[in-house]
Amino acid sequence: MLPVVPRRFPVSSSRWLLAAAIAAAVAACSSKQPPQMPQAQVGVQTVKAQRLALDQTLSGRTVAYMTSDVRPQVGGILRKRLFTEGQDVKAGQVLYEIDPASYQAAYDTAKGDLAQAEAAVLSARPKAQRYQTLVALDAVSKQDGDDAVATLRSNEAAVVAAKASLQTARINLDYTRITAPIDGRIGTSSYTPGALVSAGQSDVLATINQLDPMYVDVTQSSAQLLQLRRQLDAGQLKAVDGKAEVKLQLEDGSTYARSGTLEVVDAAVDTATGTVKLRAVVPNPDRLLLPGMYVKAVLSMAVDEQAILVAQQAISRNSKGEAVALVVGSDNKVAQRVLTTGDAIGDKWVVRDGLKAGDKVIVQGLQKVAVGDQVKAVEVTSAAATATPPAATQGAAAAPKAD
């Protein structure tokens, strides 16, 4: 069998074949396009201007609507205490009794003095009349007649003085029964039966507070008050109709069931604190509020007819500490807006500047996109925006505080 002799190609032919193979490989590679990345889908909410009552939360204290300190108006030994501490009392109700013996004696003496003075008048009046007749007949001297008339006038004056003394004695006797000057709840008694009290003493026997309604005194900085006034004057805000409503948050964090109204704005600024006192009146039929309690009063001071509210999870902070939000433009590209935020209203922030009605703010999928990305925007409801998945929550920055 003859040996097979390998076929040999010329050098030029082998080079040509190699070049053709490389060209074919390059052509094959260039004919395959890279796969297109799908657009990220994000949840957005379209910004809408809405009417918003602007509330201010101010700290303050409750104050009794009326307060009366019970003090004795005559001195003596306390004989009885006629009330239960911590209970409601009525105006005119007897609270204490002072031993009336000496005052009863003084009253009886004054009563006798009056009777004596009236008897003297009964004697002097006919005598003066007789002397006037005798003077006309020249039976007695004119001086004797004048003396008789003067005696009558003196006795009549004594009757007036005796009546005044009797009235004073009656008042002092009545003061031995110490009564409540107002309706309200009486506190603890500082004195017990057997104690010696005196008229005009500085120590009070007890204190009565009228608890329904209650005052709530809060303070607001004069700067905030000026800003509010400027916004109202400029038409940016609208004053509430009637008196401003006041709601209370109690010390335990609960909300008081009844609303009150703002009644008084003080006419002067406290020079030490730079604040103005505001006073509200709040109904308190259940006596839940007591004087001196710390409360937070939420006052509806004005109305913004074009307020912008944005879900809290849509707003974060940039490296400069500015509040920012991502929006989807008309070209479906992501852009960043720097915002000026206001107060928190529920799960939303009030946005004072940086957004307008019609803007589409990204509230879901923030961790999947960056500025400049083209995305697919899907409108979501407020409830759906709040129910953010855990991964999205972790990817979002911390919600900003109100500026």
Tell me if 207 is assigned to some domain: no
How many domains does the chain fold into? 2
Q: Tell me the pLDDT tens digit for each residue of 268-313.
A: 888 888 888 889 999 999 999 999 999 999 888 777 788 888 998 8
User: Cβ atoms within 10 A of the Cβ of 263, count?
Assistant: 14
Percent of the chain past pLDDT 70, that is, above it, reads 82
User: Looking at residue 141, which CATH number applies to its domain?
Assistant: 1.10.287.470
Tell me if 350 is assigned to some domain: yes
Question: Which of 140, 175, 210 is the endpoint of a domain?
Answer: 175
Q: Looking at the structure, tell me whether residues 331 and 391 fall in a common domain.
A: yes
Q: How far is the C-alpha of 349 from the C-alpha of 342, rounded, in Å? A: 7
- Mean pLDDT check: name the lowest of 26-35, 120-129, 138-147, 331-340: 26-35
Q: Tell me the pLDDT tens digit for each residue of 83-118.
A: 999 999 999 999 999 999 999 999 999 999 999 988
Domain residues for the domain of 356 are 43-53+306-395
Q: How far is the C-alpha of 237 from the C-alpha of 229, rounded, in Å? A: 9
Question: Which of 114, 141, 175 is the endpoint of a domain?
Answer: 175
User: Looking at residue 310, which CATH number applies to its domain?
Assistant: 2.40.420.20
Tell me if 286 is assigned to some domain: no
Q: Looking at the structure, tell me whether residues 384 and 310 fall in a common domain.
A: yes
Sequence-ordered list of residues with C-beta below 8 angstroms from that of 280, at least 6 positions apart, any chain: 215, 216, 218, 246, 260, 261, 262, 263, 297, 299
pTM for this entry: 0.64
Report which of residues 365 and 385 the model is more confident about. 365
Tell me if 328 is assigned to some domain: yes
Tell me if 314 is assigned to some domain: yes
Q: Confidence class of residue 399 from pLDDT cuts 50, 70 and 90?
A: very low
Tell me if 265 is assigned to some domain: no
Q: Is the pLDDT of residue 194 over 90?
A: yes
Q: Is the pLDDT of residue 33 over 60?
A: no
Question: Which of 175, 202, 223 is the endpoint of a domain?
Answer: 175
Which residue(s) pair with 217 in the sheet?
61, 279
Query: What local confidence, expressed as pLDDT, does residue 27 receive?
Result: 55
Q: Tell me the pLDDT tens digit for each residue of 67-88.
A: 999 999 999 999 999 999 999 9
Q: Looking at the structure, tell me whether residues 117 and 47 fall in a common domain.
A: no
Report which of residues 54 and 399 the model is more confident about. 54
Average pLDDT over residues 316-338: 91
Query: What local confidence, expressed as pLDDT, does residue 388 receive?
Result: 45
Q: Is the pLDDT of residue 17 over 80?
A: no
Tell me if 371 is assigned to some domain: yes
